[in-house]
Chains A and B, each alone.
Chain A
Amino acid sequence: MSLLATKDLTIRFGGHVAVNAVTCAFQPGTLTAIVGPNGAGKTTYFNLISGQLRATAGQVTLDGRDLSGMSASQRTHAGLGRAFQLTNLFPRLTVLENVRLAVQAARAGKHRRGFNLWSIWSDHRELTARAHEILRAVALAPKEHELVAGLPHGDQRKLEVALLMGLESRVFMFDEPTAGMNAAEVPVILNLIRKLKEDASKTILLVEHKMDVVRELADRIIVLHNGALVADGDPAAVIASPIVQEAYLGVAPTVRAGPVEAVPGASREAA
């Protein structure tokens, strides 16, 4: 049975249909890459799943439970974890404090209404132990007492994953996790995602433009184009399909900008 599913998920902005009746189910223990041209609706699809945007029509379900009426934070508690490109870290707290807060938030959401100071004190040791466990898993344990603001970019990305683990997310959504990373940092984050994949109870969704990364990680690729789901399947087959070759990779000469001999208006430079 699928863990996460969308049914006829749609959003319109005025006359523009940004995501158009996307029906798709995601199995636990798999990583699905979402590809498509810029503006195809990939990030908007994520926003609809995580609740940052409300759908015009359609449903999002997690374990068969309809999330459509829930806010983004309720969906996070329900198990949807989304990496936000560093904007959800607390820069003035340490690495350990960040992860402990996530663990604490997950427990509070599960067992109690909001935060309870007394229980926070009594649970402190247990929360810290769980935070340590997570930090070991993402290889950040040696830096647990460093301030987040001073961490290298790659480590901040690792921490972001650690927060999702702390929140006990069951669905991990990554939107271009390697964007703006240098070549040395990319393998670090890829290893981490690979490790998450080993847990057969989790589902991972990945928006990524780097095809070598997609080939390396994905069990399945879905293609969005003009808001609609236009291809879905085995990575090799989807990459080889005409829609991906032409509309996305730009291999066919028809969509490639033809060679322009000279830059129009360049002569003005002499003026």
Chain B
Amino acid sequence: MNENMLSLQGVHTHIGAYHILHGVDLTVPRGKLTMLLGRNGAGKTTTLRTIMGLWHASQGRITFNGQDITQLATPQIASMNVAYVPENMGIFSDLSVKENMLLAARWARNAGQIDAERLKWIFTLFPAVQTFWNHPAGKLSGGQKQMLAVARAIVEPRELLIIDEPSKGLAPAIINNMIDAFGQLKASGVTILLVEQNFNFAKRLGDTVAVMDNGVIVHAGSMKELAEDEALQHSLLGLAI
């Protein structure tokens, strides 16, 4: 099987009159954690949305496990065992935390059918999910909603996990838990693609990294190499040396 689970070749995306992606070439290696970095407005979120079929590429090709998914609808892509956490988290405010989790658990018809061991693991990582299990999700704080969004994406095993800024708004203790969680998921064979602004978080977790600017990938390589090369960080990300 191809060593890249996901690959984008020359992807262009237009949103209305705006031309956002200008030929994105990105590969996401199987079983690895790939970090997509870049300044605000570089096109990171648009790239994720184009992968998920929420915007359609006007040019170029996206393949997942060797299959062309460029023109597929979002539910078709999701049903190929892909989990996606959007930037706005997509929490259903009027549903309880439990109902939000249950919606994502395709194997379960009621909360009792959610894998109990896995749920226990999620509760350990994100205690707020357990504390507010029967509360309306709309009443959660910003950080707690973020925890729920990630918990929902990992409620069942998925082949590919795509998350837009997982660490946003989270207290340091929870960020540590999240780093553990992604490490464990990766060890279990999951492929992960994260958009992240927090470089400290990114470098602790990433295997490979791609940096975007102005709608194209301007650098791709190993995270270790970027983490050790301060001059490169400075030129790509504007990090102070």
Residues of A within 8 A of B (CB): 13, 35-40, 42-44, 152-154, 176, 179-185, 187, 209, 211, 247-250, 255-260, 262-266, 268-269
Residues of B within 8 A of A (CB): 37-41, 107, 115, 117-118, 120-121, 124-125, 128, 139-144, 146-147, 156-159, 165, 168-174, 176-177, 180-181, 184-185, 187-190, 197, 199, 237-240
Can you add 17 more A-B contacts, CB < 8 Å, to A38-B146, A182-B197, A262-B184? A36-B171, A38-B128, A176-B169, A182-B238, A183-B199, A183-B238, A211-B172, A249-B172, A257-B124, A257-B177, A263-B121, A263-B184, A263-B187, A264-B115, A264-B121, A269-B158, A269-B189
Contact A183–B239 (Cβ < 8 Å): yes
Chain A nearest CB from B161 CB (Å) reads 11
Bound Cα distance from A211 to B175, whole angstroms:
13
Query: Chain B residues with Cβ under 8 A from A37's Cβ?
Result: 171, 173-174
Bound Cα distance from A196 to B146, whole angstroms:
31
The 8 closest A-B pairs by CB, nearest first: A250-B173, A184-B238, A38-B143, A264-B117, A153-B40, A266-B188, A265-B118, A264-B118
Chain A nearest CB from B35 CB (Å) reads 13
Describe A's contact surface by its main secondary structure.
Answer: loop
Bound Cα distance from A42 to B172, whole angstroms:
15
Contact A182–B237 (Cβ < 8 Å): yes
Contact B41–A248 (Cβ < 8 Å): no
Bound Cα distance from A37 to B177, whole angstroms:
13
Contact B168–A39 (Cβ < 8 Å): no
* Residue in chain B with minimal CB distance to A271: B157
Cross-chain pairs A/B with CB under 8 angstroms, 20 sampled:
A38-B141, A38-B147, A40-B141, A43-B141, A176-B169, A180-B168, A181-B40, A182-B237, A183-B197, A183-B199, A183-B239, A183-B240, A185-B238, A211-B172, A250-B174, A257-B177, A264-B115, A265-B117, A265-B156, A269-B189
Query: Chain A residues with Cβ under 8 A from B171's Cβ?
Result: 35-38, 209, 248, 250
A256-B176 CB under 8 A given contacts A179-B168, A182-B237: yes
Bound Cα distance from A211 to B185, whole angstroms:
27
Query: Chain A residues with Cβ under 8 A from B125's Cβ?
Result: 257
Chain A nearest CB from B17 CB (Å) reads 13
A268-B188 CB under 8 A given contacts A38-B174, A152-B41, A182-B39: no
Query: Chain B residues with Cβ under 8 A from A249's Cβ?
Result: 172-173
Chain A nearest CB from B10 CB (Å) reads 25
Bound Cα distance from A211 to B172, whole angstroms:
8
A268: contacting residue among B156, B197, B237, CB under 8 A: B156
Query: Chain A residues with Cβ under 8 A from B107's Cβ?
Result: 268
Query: Chain B residues with Cβ under 8 A from A35's Cβ?
Result: 171
Chain B nearest CB from A243 CB (Å) reads 12
A256-B40 CB under 8 A given contacts A38-B143, A187-B240: no
* Residue in chain B with minimal CB distance to A246: B173
Query: Chain A residues with Cβ under 8 A from B139's Cβ?
Result: 13
Contact B238–A209 (Cβ < 8 Å): no
Bound Cα distance from A184 to B165, whole angstroms:
17
Contact A269–B159 (Cβ < 8 Å): yes
* Residue in chain A with minimal CB distance to B180: A257
B124: contacting residue among A36, A209, A258, A268, CB under 8 A: A258
Chain B nearest CB from A160 CB (Å) reads 14
Query: Chain A residues with Cβ under 8 A from B189's Cβ?
Result: 266, 269
* Residue in chain A with minimal CB distance to B177: A257
Contact A182–B38 (Cβ < 8 Å): yes
Contact A248–B173 (Cβ < 8 Å): yes
Contact B41–A255 (Cβ < 8 Å): no
Bound Cα distance from A83 to B174, whole angstroms:
25
Bound Cα distance from A182 to B165, whole angstroms:
11
Bound Cα distance from A265 to B231, whole angstroms:
42
Chain B nearest CB from A206 CB (Å) reads 14
Query: Chain B residues with Cβ under 8 A from A262's Cβ?
Result: 184, 187-188
Bound Cα distance from A79 to B139, whole angstroms:
29
Query: Chain B residues with Cβ under 8 A from A263's Cβ?
Result: 118, 121, 157, 184-185, 187-188, 190
Bound Cα distance from A35 to B171, whole angstroms:
9
